[in-house]
Amino acid sequence: AYKFWQTQPVPRFGDEDKAIEEGPLRIQTVDEVDKEPQPLVAGFEWVKVDLCSEEEMKEVYELLNGHYVEDDEAMFRFNYSPSILRWAMMAPGWQKKYHIGVRAIQSRKLVAFISAIPVRLRVRDKTVLCSEVNFLCIHKKLRGKRLAPVLIKEVTRVSNLDGVWQGLYTAGIVLPKPVSTCRYFHRSINWQKLNDCGFSPLPPGSKPQYQIRKYALPDNTSTRGLREMKEKDIDGVVSLLKRYLARFDMAPEFTPEEAHHWFIPKPDGEQAIWSYVVEDNDKKITDFFSFFCVESSVINNSKHDILRVAYLFYYASESGLAQPFDKPALKTRLNSLINDALILAKKARFDVFNALTLMDNALFLEQQKFGAGDGQLHYYLFNYRMKHIAGGVNKKNQL
């Protein structure tokens, strides 16, 4: 088992992870790194995909739309739009050489892809520069041919040549060896549509109108001072987020430029990110939350083609920063904020709102009527040994 992964600098199952020094597993220098990619099997070639070209972006979009992640029963498949792909893969520091494709030489068809962006990740008290790897995808006809390890080695090589030796990635499957494991929770917004699609079954003994009433939301938000985040809020949000994320074992560090990219919607194209702040009477940003959109294709359904899915992204609140820590106050505040997030997501025509069991989410998931899904998300670090984080990736023992 794990013929490829056992050759890689990742921790093995059963490796002791108590009382260890956290840090790299393998140390190399740039001149030890291959200057050229490994050859591909005959008929295929490496390409750098130009995501600035509408045409090439469309090719990536179509590969992912047809062949990317599905749920276990193949009812839904992620349908990342070009604007969300631009948002995810063209963050500050992005480079075209990290948008790695494989083409069939004759037909020119794009048949495989992998990408990375740089991220500065704080792991406990150390900051680690990582390649955050995402959108690994192989055309269904080329599956099971050991191409995935070749793509992974290529993104590793390109990172290493830039002096980046660690990787951050998530996957639904179990690989050696998760840093932490989260569960997906789902909060119905449009219950009837979710039921039509087979996503939300009618609980035994219930009736559709009970479910619809259960998930009904007010028309307007309730938090005083809540408004859309604007450019002028970036410094306030960065400061609040830095202090809030310091409470967790693992979290990215945001520069103002990165906060601009990740939180402020782009003026053109389809909206990918929704961000809100609460401003108090002294014009201070006291709270912040954000969610992004990834639609899913509904496979083989006569009524619906697309589900609009919101994913809770970063949030922060001064309520979590009181000294000493005041958990009931944070719980009350987060419940108000997330309820407002649900109302705003409904206004933006989302069908369901997803969140993981990380950060302080345990404080609101139940009260806000999220239900546990079957999906898990495992978090991994490449070439880094660290103690496991229990109960959700960046959760501290305060909860």
- Using CB under 6 A as the binding rule, whether residue 146 contacts ligand YNC is answered as yes
| Strand ranges for the chain from DSSP E | 44-48, 76-79, 99-104, 110-123, 126-138, 166-171, 180-188, 226-228, 250-252, 273-279, 285-298, 306-317, 352-356, 371-382
Residue 5 binds which entry of Mg ion, ligand YNC, none, CB below 5-8 Å type-dependent: ligand YNC
What distance in Å separates the CA atoms of residue 291 and residue 283, rounded to the nearest whole number? 23
- Out of 32, 72, 144, 267, name the contact with ligand YNC by CB under 6 A: 144
Residue 169 binds which entry of ligand YNC, Mg ion, none, CB below 5-8 Å type-dependent: ligand YNC
Residues near 69 by beta carbon (within 8 Å), at least 6 away in sequence: 77, 78, 172
- Using CB under 6 A as the binding rule, whether residue 357 contacts ligand YNC is answered as no
- Out of 76, 185, 248, 382, name the contact with ligand YNC by CB under 6 A: 382
Hey, what are 179's tokens?
A: 């840093």
DSSP state, residue 66: H
Q: Is the dihedral of CA 216, 219, 221, 222 positive or negative?
A: negative
Residue 34: Cβ-neighbour burial (10 angstroms; 0-12, 13-18, 19+): exposed
Shorter beta-carbon distance to ligand YNC: residue 175 or 399 = 175
The region of 95-103, 148-156, 183-191, 366-374 touching ligand YNC under the rule CB under 6 A is 148-156
- Using CB under 6 A as the binding rule, whether residue 149 contacts ligand YNC is answered as yes
Shorter beta-carbon distance to Mg ion: residue 3 or 283 = 3
What distance in Å separates the CA atoms of residue 369 and residue 360, rounded to the nearest whole number? 16
What distance in Å separates the CA atoms of residue 82 and residue 57, rounded to the nearest whole number? 7
What distance in Å separates the CA atoms of residue 129 and residue 165, rounded to the nearest whole number? 8
- Using CB under 6 A as the binding rule, whether residue 313 contacts ligand YNC is answered as no
- Using CB under 6 A as the binding rule, whether residue 311 contacts ligand YNC is answered as no
Chain length of the chain: 399
- Using CB under 6 A as the binding rule, whether residue 169 contacts ligand YNC is answered as yes
Tell me phi and psi for residue 230, to 5 degrees: -120, 170
Residue with tokens 């302080």: 360
The region of 94-102, 119-127, 160-168, 354-362 touching ligand YNC under the rule CB under 6 A is 160-168
- Using CB under 6 A as the binding rule, whether residue 315 contacts ligand YNC is answered as no
What distance in Å separates the CA atoms of residue 19 and residue 396, rounded to the nearest whole number? 18
Could you give the angle at the alpha carbon of 47 between the alpha carbons of 46 and 53, nearest 5°? 165
Shorter beta-carbon distance to ligand YNC: residue 248 or 380 = 380
The region of 2-10, 23-31, 36-44, 348-356 touching ligand YNC under the rule CB under 6 A is 2-10
- Out of 76, 98, 165, 185, name the contact with ligand YNC by CB under 6 A: 165
Q: Find the shortest distance in angstroms from Cβ 162 to ligand YNC.
A: 9
Binding site for Mg ion (CB under 5 A): 145, 147
Q: Find the shortest distance in angstroms from Cβ 354 to ligand YNC.
A: 16
Binding flags for ligand YNC, 46-85, as an x/- string (CB under 6 A): ---------------------xxx----------------
Shorter beta-carbon distance to Mg ion: residue 138 or 164 = 138
- Using CB under 6 A as the binding rule, whether residue 94 contacts ligand YNC is answered as no
Hey, what are 44's tokens?
A: 């295929």
- Out of 33, 91, 104, 171, name the contact with ligand YNC by CB under 6 A: 171
Q: Which spans of this chain sit near ligand YNC (rule: CB under 6 A)?
A: 2-5, 67-69, 131, 133-138, 143-149, 152, 155-156, 159-160, 164-167, 169, 171, 173, 175, 382
